[in-house]
Amino acid sequence: MTIPLRKHQGTTQQTNGYATIDDFYNVFDRGMNVLYQLSFLLTADDRKAEACFVAGLEESVTSNRVFKEWAHSWAKRAIIQNAIRALKPRPPVDYPSSSVALYSGGERPKENQHFNLDWVLSLADFDRFVFVMSVLEHYPDRDCAMLLGCSLRQVSEARIRRFERLTGPLLTMAESS
């Protein structure tokens, strides 16, 4: 993947602490792998991931003033917002409120192993967004709920579904002991 050509060559460095267009190009250039991975984990699709990455770059360079120290966080948030606009993840309406019946089986990462890519990509869109935003990106629940346009409870229920899918058999074994 290549970063789009700069439309504003020769921008001057600002001394007021705000990120410049060049600062954002540098954030996306140096952090391309991490930022694209974030986009891919959210969208679970190469083409959509690339589109969200490029749209995130375009939004970042045309954004309002952002402190230079926040440029990387701003870039991630722009990618997340573009992925949300592209996929429109919605919480499921058919899951019971009780966490007991939420485990849906399926493959999980093996014990003592990091979350594998296939497991993350196999999550339903909403659950995948909650997982990536809250666990991998450390967004607070209230930020996840605000960005996803849902309630805190729906974010919490997605987290329960996700961890029960990951640890369901382990919880069942512990209860029978």
Residue tagged 């485990």 (tokens)? 103
- Same structural domain for residues 78 and 117? no
Q: Which residue has the higher pLDDT, 56 or 171?
A: 56
Q: Which residue has the higher pLDDT, 119 or 16?
A: 119
Domain containing residue 30? 21-87
User: In this structure, is residue 5 part of a structural domain?
Assistant: no
> Is the model's pLDDT at 111 over the cut of 80?
no
User: What one-character DSSP code corresponds to residue 7?
Assistant: S
| pLDDT on residue 171 | 40
User: In this structure, is residue 94 part of a structural domain?
Assistant: no
pTM over 0.85: no
How many separate domains does the chain show? 2
- Same structural domain for residues 160 and 113? yes
> Is 71:64 a contact under the CB 8 Å cutoff?
no
Structure tokens belonging to residue 19: 């990120």
- Per-residue pLDDT tens digits for 114-167: 567 888 899 999 999 999 999 899 999 999 999 999 999 999 999 888 777 665
User: In this structure, is residue 162 part of a structural domain?
Assistant: yes
| pLDDT on residue 89 | 97
User: In this structure, is residue 92 part of a structural domain?
Assistant: no
